[in-house]
Structure 1
Amino acid sequence: MTDEQHDKVAEIIKSTRIAMMTQADATGRLVSRPMATQDVDFTGTVWFIAERDTEKVRDLQANPQVNLAYAGDGSWVSLSGTARVVDDRAKLEELWGTFTGAWMEGGPDNPDNILIEVTGDTAEYWDAPGGGKVVQLVNLVKSAVTGKRVEGDNETVDL
Structure 2
Amino acid sequence: MTTHDDQIATVAEIMKETRIAVLTYTSLQGALVSTPMGTQDFDEPGTTWFLTERSSDKVAAIEADPRVNVSYSSNAGWVSLSGTARVSEDREKLRELWDASAGAFMSGGPDDPDNVLLEIDGATAEYWESPGKVKAAIQLAKGLVGDSTPDLGDNDTVIL
Q: CA deviation at 1:43?
A: 5.5
User: After superposition, where does 1:135-154 map in structure 2 within 5 Å?
Assistant: 135-151=135-151, 152-154=153-155
Partner of 1:147: helix, strand, or coil?
coil
**What corresponds to 1:125 in structure 2?**
127
Cα deviation, 1:121-146, whole Å, max 9, x if unaligned, reads 000100122x23x4332221122122
Flag structure 2 segments of 5+ consecutive residues without an equivalent: none
Partner of 2:12: helix, strand, or coil?
helix
**What corresponds to 1:81 in structure 2?**
83
Flag structure 1 segments of 5+ consecutive residues without an equivalent: none
User: Which TM-score applies when normalising by structure 1?
Assistant: 0.93
Partner of 2:125: helix, strand, or coil?
strand
Q: How many residues align?
A: 157
- Is the 8 Å Cα contact of residues 13 and 76 (structure 2) preserved in structure 1? no
User: After superposition, where does 1:51-90 map in structure 2 within 5 Å?
Assistant: 51-73=53-75, 75-90=77-92
User: After superposition, where does 1:1-150 map in structure 2 within 5 Å?
Assistant: 2-42=4-44, 44-73=46-75, 75-129=77-131, 131-132=132-133, 134-150=134-150
Amino acid at match of 1:51: E
Q: CA deviation at 1:35?
A: 0.8
- Is the 8 Å Cα contact of residues 50 and 115 (structure 1) preserved in structure 2? yes
Deviates more, 1:4-13 or 1:143-152: 143-152
Q: Which runs of 4+ in 1 moved over 4 A?
A: none
User: Which TM-score applies when normalising by structure 2?
Assistant: 0.93
Cα deviation, 1:96-118, whole Å, max 9, x if unaligned, reads 11111111111101111000000
